Amino acid sequence: MLVRLLCGCALGIGAAAALAQPLPSNRSAALANPASVNCEKLGGKVAIHDGPRGQFGICVFKDGRECDEWALYRDDRCVQLDAHGWPIAQHGRKPESK
């Protein structure tokens, strides 16, 4: 009984491995960044910048606006960032801290 069970499992694993297809060399298995996809959907182009806290993405529009791509994705609003990736105070106020 145990031998039949082990043989059945081995056959199942072997069949699954035989059906698996490798990705073509020109295709990537990575998932797209949803904030970058949203930026492009809205007509912007993504620019990645390096800052002291790591990389951050800016959505650049044809009219010159530059928005933090994640704030645009999450809150549907344009938040401008300084060269270090920190939000710039808007309308004379500092952005609320969370």
Q: Is the pTM of this model over 0.85?
A: no
Report pLDDT digits (tens) over 14-67: 555 556 666 666 666 688 999 999 999 999 999 999 988 899 999 999 999 999
| Assigned token pair, 54 | 């790591």
Q: How far apart are CA 38 and CA 32, in angstroms?
A: 10
- Per-residue pLDDT at 95 exceeds 60: no
Closest CA relative to residue 59, chosen from 83, 82, 43, 76: 43
Q: Hey, where are the domains in the chain? A: 34-75
